[in-house]
Structure 1
Amino acid sequence: MKIFKNNSILIRGFMMVICFAFFTACEEGPNFKIQEYPEQTATGISHTSGYPGINVTITGTDFGTLKGAVKVYFGGILATNVVSCEDTKIVVQVPAGAISGKVSLQVWKHLNDSFAEFTVLPAPAITSVVSSNAINTVAFPGVDTVTINGINFGTDASKAVVSFNGIVGPIVTIANTKITVLAPNNFNTGFVTVTMGGLTISGTPAIVNPTAAGDITPYFMSNTGVIDAKGGGFVRGAYDGSRWGALGAPWITNTAGLNRGNGIGGYAREQWNGRDGFICWETWSDKAVVNGTIYQPTSMALPAGSYTITFNYYGEIQTDSSVYLEVAAGGNGIPVLANISTALASVLLYNGTTIGDTKPNFGGDVTLNFTLGTSQVVSIGFLGNMKGRATKGNYFLGKWIKLVKN
């Protein structure tokens, strides 16, 4: 019993030490503070009317700098985009569903229920963009006009700015549903925008500047094959149901180029190459090509300047035969071999294959450069003079062609 009594005294003493330490710690605990933010004061708004989507600036005092603490309502509709917040300025985007009426501002718990009125205007919208050019997605600078169709443009040209991928174009006419504008100099291919009352809207499709440097193949040529590892993809016109055919428009093949009989030739369906549709001449079975031509005129006049044509092909063209890539002035074709010097430019494709054999051969690109002093339509195509043989004749296969303005 004595032992138990002594233990009990020790336990009580230990518990008193613990309690003393606990209460002492509580007395020396952290010093918590409650942060009180001053009540904000809104004194004005930069616009009292405008379109959903524009930015407006609210001025005043004690806004703080935390965007997450700010709520702005337009006619009771909460703005979802507070752009920036400074102690004396808040920039906010008018929400899409804004309603005309009072503007309310809340910063933390401080609410100013109605410090301004805002009138929501019907927003302009673009429904289509069309060039006066024959290709309605192409506009020559200073020549073609572009029509922007839509709604709510108004009739005051001073209140609208039309830009072509960042370059401003002069407005010719403006009506509530249509703006016409002259394509500006040096604009880059891209989308047309209209800016009104702080709102910028964009239209489609993109408008192309054909005088700008770069790949202009889609605007001046068509049926040009597919640029990838295997090539092919030229579209045929006539077809024998098996392998041979003639290229489809706008390519034009002369009679001499239709060397397979039945009005076909100059096109092949070489499926063992992994893709359908090639420019092709083959002179096996004594099917010679003598001054055969395949060409197409550009869809419109090329602007003055320098150009590069790149052509990807494969050739087993023998040393007594030839195929040329040519460019000629006008839209009526390319010259035959005797007159090839009259072409604007020409280049002989590989013709180092041994006579009566299929090797050596070549596969790859050839380039042809030419310069135009004045704007004009040109013809781009191929001239073939290939000997016929019973077996192991000449073989020429084109995969794709590209036109670039330098």
Structure 2
Amino acid sequence: MKKLSFRYKIGILALASIFVAIVSCQEEYDPDLVTYPEITVDGFSPSEGYPGSIVTITGSNFGDRFEAAKISFNGELVTDFVSYQENIMEVRVPQGATNGKLSVQVWTHVKDSIGSYAVKQLPKMDSTKAENGSNITFPGDVVTIIGSNFGIDATALVITFNGTTAEIVSIQDNEIKVIAPEGFATGYIDLTIGGSTVVGSTVMINPTASGDITPYFLANTGVVDAQGGGFGFSEDSGTGRYRILSEPWITNSAGKNKSGIGGWGREQWNGREGYICWETWGNTPVDNGIIYQPTSFALPVGSYTITLNYYSETQMDSSVYLEVAAGGNGIPNLANISTALASVMLYNGATIGETSPSFAGEATLDFTVETSQVVSIGFLGNLKGRDSKGNYFLGKWIKLVKN
């Protein structure tokens, strides 16, 4: 094989350098280039829309470099070129656009106004609420969105619940009704129209989703925080160490073992005020005492776990049960406890007539709802009274989880 001479090598290198230079000139964007052909603009459409809408501009000699183009809507420059070709370009109306002239510049050729573009006012969502009047929304519920500038064309917009598309039932310029979609995740409602998305200000809660559903179905639960603490159960007005739990808790007469009050205790020695509390010192027994509350809505079909954090000096001849029962009318007494959906006896290992051994920790109760229904969750107490060193039970917080 012949070897290339030094002269030929130099020639090839020179040609390569010229080729690179030509390619570089073609690739480079030079805003001062004045020899590019004059552009023509035939028109644009549509002539109105929302920020984020796509506008198509037709003409000739646009070239193929969108960097050479400056498109402005009443002075607001376009930052999003959807497509760009020799005779057609598609751009998104910038968010700050206002009514006024549409201007086109390619290289140094300027068309100061190719017509007027009308920017529509974006919709505004003032409030969203479910059929029950709250932001707790079951899949299948009709949700009403109140606001303005919605228009009357349901096909022009898309409503999503945290990304899941909802069916629009009806639309007016100031009200939209949609059906909450199956399986949506708790979050905000979004309204998308003409390329722009408006985010609602109200979180729509799906109580059928798995996880901690305590705030949606129960109230006055001890307010569990990340460390397992909280602010305590609230009580009806009054003074003294013992009182009655506030609504929605319901305490029967047997549960009010301190001369018509009881079921709630101020026990600051244990770190905070406000506990579900039964104490039988002073020979004040509890005989089928019941404290319960019904769920605020029907629980969806599924399996659930109740977790209770509590302290107990309950003695071996006494008992406290955590129960859940069908319906909203209470939990069964000891003789009928087998009719409950589920129950668990809490610690009762203290020696009779003593305050030890004791227990501090959590108990769980699993149950299943076969048909959607309201259930009652509560406590059943049968605690012997003693003049001193009686029984003592203290509930710190309770929570409900859908599995």
Do both share a fold (TM > 0.5)? yes
Contact 1:56 1:94 in 2 (8 A): no
Q: 1:91 to 1:329 in 2, by over 3 A?
A: same
Contact 1:267 1:279 in 2 (8 A): yes
Aligned to 1:13: none
CA distance in 2, matches of 1:271, 1:71: 70
Structure 1 residue 118 displacement after superposition: 2.1
Match of 1:248 among 236, 246, 249: 246
Residue 278 in structure 1 maps to residue 275 in structure 2: yes
1:108-257 equivalence runs, <5 A: 111-115=110-114, 117-133=116-132, 135-142=133-140, 144-228=141-225, 229=227, 230-239=229-238, 241-257=239-255
SS at match of 1:218: helix
1:378-389 equivalence runs, <5 A: 378-389=375-386
Residue 365 in structure 1 maps to residue 367 in structure 2: no
State the Cα deviation string for residues 66-96 of structure 1 (Å, max 9, x = none): xxx97643213x34x7246987567555233
Q: Write the letter of the residue equivalent to 2:30.
A: E
Aligned to 1:322: 319
State the Cα deviation string for residues 372-405 of structure 1 (Å, max 9, x = none): 1111111000001111122222111111111111
Aligned to 2:372: 375
Residue 289 in structure 1 maps to residue 291 in structure 2: no
Q: Write the letter of the residue equivalent to 2:94.
A: V
Contact 1:212 1:405 in 2 (8 A): yes
RMSD (Å) for aligned C-alpha atoms? 2.7
Q: 1:268 to 1:84 in 2, by over 3 A?
A: farther
Contact 2:52 2:92 in 1 (8 A): no
1:295-374 equivalence runs, <5 A: 295-374=292-371
SS at match of 2:367: strand
CA distance in 2, matches of 1:56, 1:347: 66
CA distance in 1, matches of 2:311, 2:374: 28
SS at match of 1:146: strand
CA distance in 2, matches of 1:180, 1:139: 13
Contact 1:74 1:103 in 2 (8 A): yes
Match of 1:398 among 385, 395, 400: 395
CA distance in 2, matches of 1:108, 1:234: 72
Q: Write the letter of the residue equivalent to 1:223.
A: N
CA distance in 2, matches of 1:36, 1:232: 67
CA distance in 1, matches of 2:249, 2:335: 22
Structure 1 residue 122 displacement after superposition: 2.2
Contact 1:138 1:208 in 2 (8 A): yes
SS at match of 2:287: strand
CA distance in 2, matches of 1:278, 1:35: 74
The two structures have a TM-score, normalised by structure 2, of 0.82
CA distance in 2, matches of 1:269, 1:137: 34
5+ residue gaps, structure 2? 1-24
CA distance in 2, matches of 1:273, 1:93: 62
SS at match of 1:224: coil
Contact 1:64 1:85 in 2 (8 A): no
Aligned to 1:75: 74
CA distance in 2, matches of 1:94, 1:35: 24
Structure 1 residue 232 displacement after superposition: 4.4
Contact 1:301 1:377 in 2 (8 A): yes
Contact 1:105 1:114 in 2 (8 A): yes
CA distance in 2, matches of 1:110, 1:324: 85
Residue 61 in structure 1 maps to residue 63 in structure 2: yes
Contact 2:52 2:194 in 1 (8 A): no
CA distance in 2, matches of 1:209, 1:342: 30
The two structures have a TM-score, normalised by structure 1, of 0.81
Q: 1:357 to 1:87 in 2, by over 3 A?
A: same
Structure number with greater Rg is 1
CA distance in 2, matches of 1:106, 1:212: 53
CA distance in 2, matches of 1:64, 1:155: 36
Q: 1:388 to 1:82 in 2, by over 3 A?
A: same
Task: Calculate percent identity across the aligned residue pairs.
Answer: 56
CA distance in 2, matches of 1:360, 1:222: 32
CA distance in 1, matches of 2:203, 2:270: 35
5+ residue gaps, structure 1? 1-32
Contact 2:50 2:93 in 1 (8 A): no
CA distance in 2, matches of 1:116, 1:385: 85
Contact 2:54 2:90 in 1 (8 A): no
Q: Write the letter of the residue equivalent to 2:63.
A: T
CA distance in 1, matches of 2:155, 2:30: 48
Structure 1 residue 156 displacement after superposition: 1.5
CA distance in 2, matches of 1:56, 1:264: 72
Residue 95 in structure 1 maps to residue 95 in structure 2: yes
Structure 1 residue 344 displacement after superposition: 0.3
Contact 1:42 1:58 in 2 (8 A): no
